[in-house]
Structure 1
Amino acid sequence: MLIDWFTVIAQMLNFLILVWLLKHFLYQPILNAIDTREKGIASKLADAEAKEADAHKQQEDFEAKNKSFDEQRAALMTKADGDAKVEHDRLVDEAHKQADGVRASEAAALKDARAHQAVAIRRMAQNQVFEITKKTLADLATVTLEERIGEVFTRRLRLMNVKDKDEMGAALKASPEASLVRSAFNLPDEQKAAIQNALNETFSAVIRVRYETDANAISGIELTAQGQKLSWSISSYLDSFDRSLAELIAPPTKPEPTPAHDAEVK
């Protein structure tokens, strides 16, 4: 059988042309479409992975924020508990101090009231004693209370012990000014002369004195010179009465109960 080479070559040429046509117009577009499809899928996969990674990152950030919030909340709660305890202790301490201050104020007020009451009672008692003494002396003798007090003072002046006499004499003689004789009443000239004579005789010198009255002084006479003092008054006899009176009006002391401040404050 003879081969028709022309036909074979023509068929081969047709086949090549067909292949080229298929490749150029059919296969290549399909390949391009497949490549484009693959690229699109790869892009979508990459975008999905990016979104997934971003979602994971957001989740981690959210968890970190929640953890930080929990830590901050715990720290704030701890601080709040500490501040509340400090404030509670401060309020309790302040309540204790206020209660102590109120008790101290009440005690001071009560003490002042007692002191004023004692002074008033003592003054009243003294006045009563003075009046009774004056009336008694007026009934029993011809001298007044003031005259009797002057006599007692001059007698005490003459009966001073050696030590007191030396100290008072040195003070009287060294005083650049006239020494002071203070009394609660105006001394008559006779009593002034008697006191002057007693001073001159006691200290063997002419003692210069000046007289002064003090309405607030208790009935008596007082001699002062250079820090030295010689006095006599009825108040000395009222000292024991004053102490007895103070004990009488003072209420019995009772131990104070321990205040339950914590229970009250809470």
Structure 2
Amino acid sequence: MLNLQLGIRHAVGRQSAPTSLDLKSSAFDPKEKVWTRFPPEGSKHTPPHQSCDFRWKDYCPLVFRTLRKLFDVDPADYMISICGDDALLELSSPGKSGSFFYLTNDDKYMIKTMKKAEVKVLLRMLPAYYKHVRNYDNTLITKFFGLHCVKITGGIQKKVRFVIMGNLFCSRYSIHRRFDLKGSSLGRMTDKPLDQIDETTTLKDLDLNFIFRLAGSWFQEFCRQVDRDCELLEQERIMDYSLLVGVHFKDRSLIYSSSFFPSYRQRQC
């Protein structure tokens, strides 16, 4: 993680703020990347450090720098969150991808390791993604802030690629239950017994047994935005996506109530 923090501090600290949200198509070219070497003794552009000699790569740096501006991310706060004295927290993988997940100490950002194929997909859809998040302030699609790679110089270790994302569950309200909803029932139930379910458990479709009520105008806009977001994902041929939902209970006694979970264990298509 030290290499990651050194790279972020270097990349964000040396870059000037973008002057415009209008980007040329060349900024989205997958070949648009910057390599920087970090020798332990330091260099003209990098500080001395206690890690090994490594190389750091920024993918489409201007695009992600502009995305951070678009999402109102302050560069100094961004660096403090990821590169501060507090260590990043490693999370167990909630999915089957084998990726590692890290959370910043202030809960603002998540870092996910990625396979080469996943990086290619994100770079391919980057122009459409940028256009979408610029056009729709209320998009529910994940916010991406940076795409990077670390390679140990002269070592046999593979490159480690990772993306920095916004943490949906960073809120002034405690998140008591979290759901990953795919609109399916096949295999969509947690295998944990009720007494082992807590705030960190990711629940699924068949675990959800209550109704959300929204004001009419809010509900209509929510549905419209979901449709727009799904259209983008379909356009980019992204199939494995879901809606993450965090629930805060005003009445804390409801947190431990089994009435919010189905009493059946049926599995259907």
- Common topology (TM > 0.5): no
Q: Which has the higher helix share?
A: 1
Structure with bigger gyration radius? 1
Question: TM-score, normalization: structure 1?
Answer: 0.21
